[in-house]
Chains A and B, each alone.
Chain A
Amino acid sequence: MQQSDDVLLSERDGTILIATMNRPDRMNALGGGLPEALNEAWLDFRDDPEVQVMIITGVGDRAFCAGMDLRQNDERARELGAQSAQALLDASASRAIRVAFNSNNFGLWKPVIAAINGWCLAAGCEMAMGCDLRIMEDQARMGLPEVKRGMGAKQTTHKLHYLTKLSLGLEMVWTGDPLTAQRAYDLGLVNEVVPTGTSVERAKEVARKICDFPSDYLTYHKLRVFQSIGVPMDYAMSQQQRFPPEENGAYRQGLQRSLKQGVPGWPR
């Protein structure tokens, strides 16, 4: 049974999983067991065939996630005798292999939506950038302030120019200044801006639309997009995966439904 003092709350709504970060007194910073709980949630989501879309958000309307828990990092640095942020990172890197959600290194090809309900900073921002879609509330702010602490946004810098334009990505990383929701939207970093307190509801609506597609259609296309970036066009197109994979029954049923329902607005 889930306790309200769990650092990560999860809720099921049909085939949608809603994971809510719950460390409000620490602005949902990644510490106190939250990173471990998130890793577990991502793996469970990946491996559960009953769940098609995941929404990630934070409690309340103050913070989505403020990043690594620096207070906890500081304690750990003392423990290790690390003299700099980099030394701490180096020391932490030697721990067990981390599930890096942001880089899809554990093969998560199901759609994930970030419902950004408040401050979304540093590692929190990177987590949101690692999601496929971002829905942001208009009071929320997003940024990569690592530069101000002599650190780097390592999980996101490789991807920033795919998420927005190169110069704007550099501006974000080099100034460390947070962006308003409207500015993030203008830069293409978020898909939608919605009123305060409504990002989860809107994310659920979008998730339900996603769930109308067959799950193998979704994983196929997400994978295709990621495989097609950073390689020459010829190479991207020479990868001959086909869809659907041998499933003629489902394919034909889909055609029949398609023929019956048509596409929106046509015929008109």
Chain B
Amino acid sequence: MSELVSCEKDNSVFVIELRRHELGNLLNRQLQHELVAAWEEFEADDSLLVGVIHGAGGVFSVGHDVAELLNGMGDALLPEPVAELFPYTLSKPVIAAVEGPCYGLGFELALSCDLRFAAEDALFGFPDTNLRVSYRLASALLPRLTDLGTSLDLLLTGEVFDSSRMRKLRLVNKVVTGGTVLARAVEYGLQMSSRLGSTRAFRKSQIVQFTGLPLSTAIRQARSESIT
């Protein structure tokens, strides 16, 4: 049934592939809905602990499907992406394995993953100066992931950063050579699963939420949680 997104299980790791690479993995509505369905399947399956998302054809995603926005969306609808598109709300960790361009909405998707592994040729940014869309999630995630100056640099100048710069700015966790980024992400996912054993152990929602709480509140809340 699914056409633009394919899913595969490798033991406890769920591998999601964006398959619209002849069009730069542009995130049209159909792809967004298929991706949401994939996240739902991942979240519901207790045997799956870590997700990995990557783009087929050496491109992660170059962002919004502008032609679709122009032709199909109608004047009343602004291009808000499907709400459940972004995996930061899932209870399980997700790794983005990025090769090639990762722009705009595609970059926002990668930022909303928990870890980012990047090939040396990967490029990140919001370079489209014509697109009048909001990167609401990226605006909230960037200052949590890196420093304020870098967050504003990416959002306001449209500059494209390469992998090594992203690594230095703590926006990418690992830079991987050649075409091995997917394999490395899956391998890492398997290691994470064997170390932590259950989704509860990742405590992901807590960590994300803690980023904006007064420290004393966060400590109190963490103490009140039972560890299972």
Contact = CB atoms under 8 A, between A and B. Distances in A.
Contacts of A189: 147, 149
A254 B132 contact: yes
B40 interface: no
Contacts of B132: 214, 216-217, 243-244, 247, 250-251, 254
A248 B212 CA distance: 34
Nearest to A234: B209
Residue of B62, B75, B129, B133 with most partner-chain A CB within 10 A: B129
A244 B69 CA distance: 14
Contacts of B78: 242-244, 251
A157 B107 CA distance: 31
Nearest to B26: A266
B110 to A, nearest CB: 15
B156 A210 contact: yes
A237 B147 CA distance: 19
A222 interface: yes
Nearest to A53: B156
B59 interface: yes
A209 interface: yes
B220 interface: no
A150 interface: no
Interface in B113-154: 123, 127-137, 139-140, 142-144, 146-153
Contacts of A231: 212
A261 B152 contact: no
Contacts of B103: 263, 266
A237 B136 contact: yes
Contacts of B75: 248, 252
A159 B142 CA distance: 15
A225 B62 CA distance: 22
A97 interface: no
A88 interface: no
B66 to A, nearest CB: 5
A266 B25 CA distance: 11
Contacts of A255: 66, 69-70, 130-131
B131 A111 contact: no
Contacts of B211: 232-233
B140 A213 contact: no
A245 to B, nearest CB: 9
Interface residues of B, number: 52
Interface stretch (B4-12, B91-99, B157-165, B179-187): B157-165
Nearest to B146: A188
A46 interface: no
Given A214-B132, A233-B212, A251-B132, A221 B155 contact: yes
B87 interface: no
A265 B101 contact: yes
Contacts of B1: none
A55 interface: no
B69 A111 contact: no
A256 interface: yes
Interface in A197-225: 206, 209-210, 212-214, 216-218, 220-222, 224-225
A199 to B, nearest CB: 15
Contact of A242 (B70, B134, B137): B134
Nearest to A162: B148
A242 B80 contact: yes
B184 to A, nearest CB: 24
8 contacts: A163-B149, A188-B150, A213-B129, A214-B132, A220-B134, A224-B140, A231-B212, A237-B140
Interface of B: 24, 59, 62-63, 66-67, 69-70, 75, 78, 80, 88, 101, 103-104, 123, 127-137, 139-140, 142-144, 146-153, 155-160, 169, 208-209, 211-213
Interface of A: 111, 132-134, 159, 162-164, 188-191, 206, 209-210, 212-214, 216-218, 220-222, 224-225, 228-237, 241-244, 247-248, 250-252, 254-259, 261, 263-267
The 3 closest A-B CB pairs, nearest first, are: A243-B134, A188-B147, A228-B140
Given A133-B152, A210-B156, A225-B148, 15 more contacts: A133-B157, A209-B158, A210-B158, A212-B158, A213-B129, A218-B156, A221-B139, A224-B135, A224-B139, A225-B139, A233-B140, A233-B208, A233-B211, A248-B75, A257-B130
